[in-house]
Amino acid sequence: MAHRLLFLCTGNYYRSRYAEELFNHRAGLADLKWRAFSRGAAEKGSPDNVGPMSPFALEGLEAKGILPAGNLRYPQPCTSPDLESADLIIALKEAEHRPLLERRFPGTASRVIYWHVDDVDIAKPAVALALIDDLIDDLLNSLSDDRLP
């Protein structure tokens, strides 16, 4: 049975979806017993998000030759069962997601590993996605050593 990794961003449209797909692709190549899924820390996504997945995430994955398995799934808000079923939880931006988690799921925020990947209003997608690539590589290296980050 595979371990479950939960990626969180605000609306489950861009950063967490990219991280989920990239992680699953690379973990599969490395034959690791981990599978990622992703959710939104906010109760609902932005009305500016059109379609199931950000074009920036899709383009970033396509540039790597990755066909996203979940490209037709619409963003989903996080639920308590999502958090409970995860062996590891990573939120993509502490300043943005910790307050959402503390409000929606008191007591859970301390279980979360926080990265510092800015959204498109602050960082260009090429910069943010490259940072996620590096963070995923570091994460996979730690998991392949059978240790949690």
List pLDDT tens digits, range 30-60. Answer: 888 899 999 988 876 666 766 788 999 999 9
pLDDT tens per residue, range 105-124: 988 878 899 999 988 778 78
Query: What are the CA-CA distances from residue 36 to residues 109, 120, 122 (Å)?
Result: 19, 23, 26
The Cα 129–Cα 131 span in angstroms is 5
CATH hierarchy code of domain 1-6+15-96+133-149:
3.40.50.2300
- Model-level pTM? 0.89
Pairing of strands 112-114, 3-9: unpaired
Where along the chain do its domains lie? 1-6+15-96+133-149
pLDDT tens per residue, range 77-99: 999 999 999 999 999 999 888 99
Task: Check residue 147 and give its pLDDT.
Answer: 53
- Least Cα distance to 78 among 5, 3, 7 occurs for 7
For residues 33 and 2, is the Cβ–Cβ distance under 8 A? yes
